Structure formats: structure tokens, C-alpha cells
Amino acid sequence: MADVIGITALNRYVKTLLESDAVLTDIALRGEISNFKNHFRTGHLYFSLKDSQSSVKAVMFRGNAQRLRFEPQDGMLVIVRGRISLYERDGAFQVYVEDMFPDGVGALQMAFEQLKARLAAEGLFAPEHKRPLPQVPRCVGLVTSKTGAAIQDIFNVTKRRYPAAHFLLAPVNVQGQEAAREIARAIRRLGNSGKTDVIIVARGGGSREDLWVFNDEEIARAAYDSPVPVVSAIGHEIDFCILDFVSDVRAPTPSAAAELVMPDLPAAVGQAEATFGAIARTMQKKLDLCKNQIDSACRSPQMESVRRRPLKARTELGARAALSAREMRRRLNRLGDHMAAQAALSESLSPLKVLARGYAVAEKENRILKCASDAVPGDRIRVTLHRGALLCEVNSVEKGETADEKESDV
């Protein structure tokens, strides 16, 4: 009789057998997904794999599930890689899935289409969210590899179009497992720095797998949340990625991104010169027209009449000025003659003339003496002669008749 063992021991023994089998520890299976459940709290995926005759339970733990580039669904044909083991508690034989790929449709393409549809439904591709690029950016944020061809293409175009441009570079890996996280962080860092007006995310050409990092959801959401416009410049013109749909502007190449972002300074200068020339020609035409109108007006009879008026007025004014000058000279001459006559009369009546004939003027205390009775003996008087004066003292007074007394006697 065989030894009696417990259920736990049985399940543990079977599990040991399964996990020690080299074939079952790394096996690939093809089947259809059914009874799919995404345990949102833990992140584990539970489902069954079946073919036309059988099915087997499967589980994909969160660490592996997070690497999936598509969303598994019921009825989807997939290829899984993992190991076979037994869940001891329930004695459930199941596949512990480590990788999963759609069968018949590339995993990358399916992941692309599913993520694109989901983000579009959330409005991340909506046209009303797109922002215009600044006409003259003060500083351009650049997310790319510092050693790749993309950065050189951008610098070459910028040197030709707008040499005064300033860049703020956030160097990143553009492929590899950590690339997506680096790129998303760089977009957020540049956008929130307050130093950039626009961000260019660029990568040169490559295979589809090389460019696949730019289909990452974290990059898409970082671009959507950026406070400044984002330009996607990934690969060549025929290459499309999720970032192209989320970004504000999609450029077919890094060089084209520089063309879109940087103002064309030489063209602007040429346009300004052309505009200035057009303005100068228009002004010259206006000036020529005004000159012609002035010349025509100057030759008109009305203008000739206007020109003659000042000449006539000048002639009349000259005649009146000459008449006034003659009248002024006549009056001055007459006034001069009158003044000469008065001067001669004054000269003839001057006391000095009388004194020259031998007469004298007697003064007492600055008062002219007209009668001898105006003085008494002992008075000091001043006698003014034609030349000089005498200071005299009165000894006696001889009173004689005045001219009025003589006339009264007569």
C-alpha cells in the first residue's frame, strides 16, 4: 500500500516536478485569450489561453504587465512566453506569463493603434489644444541627444536663418529602456523652467523600433501638459509617432523643425528693404505730383495776379516813404530856421551883450539892485562887469529920479 500524503504535499510535489522540467521553465505558447481580467488594484492580469480543444489558466504579474505595449482583450490571438507551475492553494495548473505578443499583428503596431485611440478619446489630439508658435522665440528648449545628427541639423538651419537664437539643451537618450522617462522629464523641466518659449523634441532617422520610444504615453502626456508649445521632429517625413499627434506642431524632420521655429532673418531684412523701397517710391511719386501741381498753380493767371500785388504795394509804399521823407526834411528845415532866429534874438537880448557895452549889474544878497534906494551905506554888493565882478561896500547913496518919475514930470 502506497504512503498516504496530504493535499498540500501533493501540490508541492507536483509544483516541484513542473518547475524542475527544463522544457516547462521557459516555454512559448500560442492561444486565444478568454476570461480576461485586469486586476486594477494589484495590476496583475488573469486570463485563460485556449485553442480549439483545450484551455489553460494564465497569470501575468504587474511587473511584467507594465512592459506591455498593447492592451490584451478577449478573443485576441497571442503568443506568450513564460513558465509552467502549480498554484498550491487551489492545485491550479497555470502559465506564469512573462512576455506577450499579438499573433498575426505586430505588437508594436497594435500598441500604437490602441494608445492612439485612447489618447484621442481623451482629447489629447484635439485641434483646439494646439498652440501657435512664437514669431520670434527668445529661447528654444531642445530635447535630443547631444551627439546625434538632429542637433547639428537644427544648429545649421538656425545659423542660416536666425543666428541670434538661444537654446536651452536637455540632453537625453533617444532609444533604450530609460529613454522615454528621460525625454518626458526633460520636456517637463524645460516647460516649467520659465526660460523657454517653445520646445523641440528631435531625433534623426532610424528603424521603426528605434523610433518607437516616442510612442510612449508618458512622453505624450508631458507634451500635452507643457505650458509652452511643443514641436515634434522625429525621424523622416514618412515616420509618425504618438508625439506627432499630441504636439502643437509636427515637423517632418529636425531641419524642418528649425525652419518652422526660427524666423527667417535674411528674408525679413529683404522684405523690409523691399517695403522701404516701395514706400520711398510712393513718397517720391507723391512729391512729384505735388511739385507738378505747384508749378501749374504758379503759372496760372491767378498766381500771377497774386505775385503782382506785392510789387504794386511795394511801389506805393516807396512813393509814400519818399513823400514822408521830403515832408520831414521840410519841417526840420523850417524848425531849424525858427530855432536859429530865436537863438539870434536871445543872443541880442542877452545881458552879456549889454555888459559888453560898459554896463554893470549890481547884486545884493543874490538880488539885482534896480534902484539906489535898494542899498544903504555899509551894504556889501557884487558888481558884475562884462569881464569879471567887483565886491564893493556902499559908502553913500545918491537918489536920483526913476524913469517913471521923469515921465510923470513931463
Signed CA dihedral, 297, 298, 304, 305: sign only: positive
Please give the pLDDT value at position 406. Answer: 47
Please, what is the average pLDDT of the chain?
86
In angstroms, the CA 410 to CA 406 distance is 6
Query: Which H or E element spans position 107?
Result: helix 107-122
Task: Please provide the size of the chain in residues.
Answer: 410
Please give the pLDDT value at position 408. Answer: 47
Question: Is 335 a member of any domain?
Answer: no
Please give the pLDDT value at position 410. Answer: 37
Both 253 and 141 in one domain: the answer is yes
Looking up cell 527544463 gives 22
Please give the pLDDT value at position 374. Answer: 83
Work out the percent of the chain whose per-residue pLDDT is above 90. Answer: 39
Both 143 and 162 in one domain: the answer is yes
Mean pLDDT is highest, among 15-19, 64-68, 145-149, 192-196, for: 192-196
Question: Is 192 a member of any domain?
Answer: yes
C-alpha cell at 48: 485563460
Both 255 and 140 in one domain: the answer is yes
Give the up-direction half-sphere exposure of residue 236: CA atoms within 13 A in the CB hemisphere.
6
In angstroms, the CA 43 to CA 60 distance is 9
Query: Which H or E element spans position 220?
Result: helix 217-225
Task: For residue 305, give every residue at least 6 positions away whose Cβ sits within 8 Å of its Cβ, in sequence order, or none.
Answer: none
Residue 378 is which amino acid?
Answer: G
CATH code (residue 68):
2.40.50.140
Determine how β-strand 140-144 pairs with β-strand 55-60. Answer: unpaired
Both 172 and 234 in one domain: the answer is yes
Q: Which residue range forms the structural domain that includes residue 240?
A: 113-126+136-263
Give phi and psi for 313, each to the nearest 5.
-65, -35
Q: What is the pLDDT of residues 28-76, one digit of tens each?
A: 999 999 999 998 888 999 999 998 889 999 999 999 998 887 888 888 8
Please give the pLDDT value at position 183. Answer: 95
In angstroms, the CA 165 to CA 264 distance is 11
Both 118 and 242 in one domain: the answer is yes
